[in-house]
Amino acid sequence: MSRIITLLSDFGWEDGYVASMKGVILGIYPEARLVDISHGIPPQDVPSGAFVLTTTYASFPDHSIHLAVVDPGVGTERRPLIVQAGKHFFVGPDNGLFSRILAQAPLWRAWELDQREYWLPQTSQTFHGRDIFAPVAAHLAAGVPPHQMGTPCEPKIENWFQVKMEREGVLCGQIIHTDHFGNSISSIDKSSLLQLSPVLRKLAVEVHPHRLLPIVKTYAQVPAGQFAALLGSHGYLEIAMNGGSAAKELDLRRGSFIRVILPGSKKR
C-alpha cells in the first residue's frame, strides 16, 4: 500500500520549491500519496509552522510521513532529523519545529540524518528541503528504516507554547499563529482555561490593558465588527472578530501577550 507523505513549508506557491520537493519524492518513490498541509507559513516563522503541524498531523492515518521545512538555519550546524512520535513520522530540521509534538507524545525516537547515500548526490547549502528532506522522506516511505538513515539523537525543544499562572486568577499566554481569517491563536489550551474556572463564560480575556473580551462559543455570538475570544477547532484559545481580522484591528502579532482573567482577581 502506498504511503502518505504530507508537506508543510514557508515556501509559498510563487516559486518552484514545492514542486522540486515533490519531483524528488516521486522520482524515488512513485507510489507516494502527496498531501499539502500548507505552504503559507510566514517566512522563517518556526513557531507558526510548529502550531500548524501539531494541529493537523493527527488527522492523517497512522504511519503517515510528515515532511516539514521551515528552516531559517538551513546550511548551518542545525541537524536534519527523522522523528517517530507514536505511529507518525516527521522529517525536517532540528530547530524546534517538532517541539510540541514531542511534548505531547508519550513515546518518541529521533535520528540525526547523517547517512548521505539517502540524500541527493549533490546538495546545496540553501535547499535542504529538496536535497535532504525530500529524498529521506521518500526512502522512508519506500521502506528504509530510520536507523539505517541516521544516528539516534535528542532533538532541540523550544517552549513556544508556554502558559503560566501569572498570579491567582490570571493566566498568561502569547499569540503563536494567525490564520487566514485574521484570528490570533494563543498558546492557551482548554485544559489551562479550566484551571481558572470550569465555566468558561465566566472568564474574560485581556488583549490590551483595559480591554477585556468575553469568551464565546461561536464567531457569530457577537455582533458584526465586534471582538471575542473562543476555543477554536484546534483546541486553543483564539482572538477573533466577527466579519474581520482581529490580528489587524487589534495589532496582535506572534509573541503578543494575552491574559485570561477570572472576575474578582486583582491586579498588582
Q: Kindly report, residue by residue over 149-181, the tens digit of the pLDDT.
A: 999 999 998 888 889 988 888 999 999 999 999
> Residue 208: pLDDT band by 50, 70, 90 thresholds?
confident
pLDDT at 131 over 60: yes
What is the predicted pLDDT for the residue at 256? 93
pLDDT class of 253 with cuts at 50, 70, 90 = very high
pLDDT of 248 > 80? The answer is yes
pLDDT of residue 91: 98
Q: Are 161 and 176 in contact (CB under 8 A)?
A: yes
Does residue 83 surpass a pLDDT of 90? Answer: yes
The residue behind cell 499562572 is: 165
Q: 0.75 exceeded by the pTM?
A: yes
Rounded Cα distance between 12 and 244, Å, is 24
What's the mean per-residue pLDDT of the chain? 93
- CB neighbours of 107 closer than 8 A, spacing ≥ 6? 85, 86
SS3 assignment for the chain = CCCEEEEEECCCCCCCHHHHHHHHHHHHCCCCEEEEEECCCCCCCHHHHHHHHHCCHHHCCCCCEEEEECCCCCCCCCCEEEEEECCEEEEEECCCCCHHHHHHCCCEEEEEECCHHHCCCCCCCCCHHHHHHHHHHHHHHCCCCHHHHEEECCCCCCCCCCCEEEECCEEEEEEEEECCCCCEEEEEEHHHHHHHCCCHHHCEEEEECCEEEEEECCHHHCCCCCEEEEECCCCEEEEEECCECHHHHHCCCCCCEEEEECCCCCCC
**CATH of segment(s) 4-152:** 3.40.50.10790
Please report the pLDDT score of residue 268 as a whole number. 45
| Partners of 68 in the β-ladder | 8
Q: Report the percent of the chain where pLDDT is more than 70.
A: 97
Sorted by where each begins, the domain ranges of the chain are 4-152, 164-261
- Write out pLDDT tens, residues 39-69: 999 999 999 999 999 999 999 999 999 999 9
Average the pLDDT over 209-228 and give the result: 91
pLDDT of residue 50: 95
The CA–CA distances, whole Å, from 144 to 15, 92, 117 equal 30, 17, 12
* pLDDT higher than 60, residue 127: yes
Give the pLDDT mean for 250-259: 93
Confidence of residue 265 (pLDDT cuts 50, 70, 90): low
Report the pLDDT value the prediction gives residue 49, as an integer from 0 to 100.
96
Fold observed for domain 164-261: Elongation Factor Tu (Ef-tu); domain 3 (2.40.30)
Q: Please measure the distance between the N-terminal and C-terminal CA atoms of the chain and give it in whole angstroms.
A: 61
